[in-house]
Structure 1
Amino acid sequence: MTPVSRRAQRGITLIGLLFWAVVVGAVALVAMKVFPTLNEYWTIQRTVNKIAMEGGTTVPEIRAAFERQKQIEYSITSISGQDLEITKENDRIVVSFAYDKEIPLIEPVYLLIKYSGSSRR
């Protein structure tokens, strides 16, 4: 039998395994912290589309409709009806919003995400 040379051996080293574990762990941490904010953004976008289509005709009616919907959707915490920008374009109501979400990762590191959107035209 001939001894196996080191060049023929394949595999991952312990340091390589630790490196990839740290990388995968960091990506998983960021994903777990960001996903709830994305879910909230999608909920706000869906609510704004619904309110623009059937919420009312005046600014106070639209803001009140958003607040009612916000009480139903418990995941909306970042904005209120007062934060909505309501305009009219070509006889259609357009409801826009923008807000910042600061996510603490590991003290003192934070991730800042700027969300914005508007109702479909």
Structure 2
Amino acid sequence: MGQQGQSGQKGQAGQPALAEQAEQAEQSDQSRREVGSKRGRARLAGRYKVRGFSLGSLLIVILIVGGIVIPAVRAIPSLLEYFSIKRAISYAKQQASNKREVADYFAKQAQIDRITAVRSDDLDIHEDDNGTIRSVGFSYRNEVPLYGPLSLMITYSGTQY
């Protein structure tokens, strides 16, 4: 009985020691999890700080895009008129056989396409010695208003052979 009592006491005395060890192990596991989760958060936070636009950089990008897009959009009607002029000159050159006819055909086509930048008198019509139309050229400038006193000057020219 003495031995059992002693072993029982050892068991009871050993139980608090085991309980303390288990508690310490549990605390160290918790601290490891907290440190691991903090590291994970730090990694994620670092990742998100590197990526993306800040508000300032977004505003700068919008200003740059606006500075390029607005002048381009305002120049589109001028560019369309240029292509209409080229098409009208090509048509006039194909249909006409002398300078006067080229000017008349161009004037009619300009009226249809509402061309105001070039008149039939402004065309450079070149004939060869036989009276055949060799080339028809044109050149003009167009001013496109952008912002208040700021405008864009575009020079157009072309020759139809």
- The TM-score with structure 2 as length reference comes to 0.67
* 2:127 matches 1:88: yes
Mark the runs of 5 or more structure 2 residues left unpaired by the alignment.
1-36
Matches within 5 A, 1:95-110: 95-110=136-151
Q: Deviations over 1:30-85 (max 9, x none)?
A: 1111111111111101111111111231x2221111111111112x1111101101
Unaligned stretches of 5+ residues in structure 1: none
Larger Rg: 2
- Distance, in Å, in 1 between the alignment partners of 2:56 and 2:80 is 36
The one-letter amino acid paired with 2:117 is: S
- Determine the structure 2 residue equivalent to 1:4: 42
Distance 2:77 2:97 in 1: 29
d(CA) in 2 for partners of 1:4 and 1:89? Answer: 81
Q: Does 1:69 align with 2:109?
A: yes
How big is the shift at 1:89?
Answer: 4.4
TM-score for both structures, normalised by structure 1 = 0.87
Q: Give the strand-richer structure, 1 or 2.
A: 1
The percent of aligned pairs where both chains have the same amino acid is 31
| 1:46 equivalenced with 2:87 (yes/no) | yes
Structure with greater contact order relative to length (CA < 8 Å, sep ≥ 6): 1
Among 38, 54, 57, which residue is 1:13 paired with?
54
Structure with higher helix content: 2
Contact 2:97 2:133 in 1 (8 A): no
Alignment check: 8 A CA contact 2:140 2:155 kept: yes
Aligned length: 118
RMSD (Å) for aligned C-alpha atoms: 1.7
Cα shift at 1:88: 1.9
Q: 1:33 aligns with which of 74, 93, 100?
A: 74
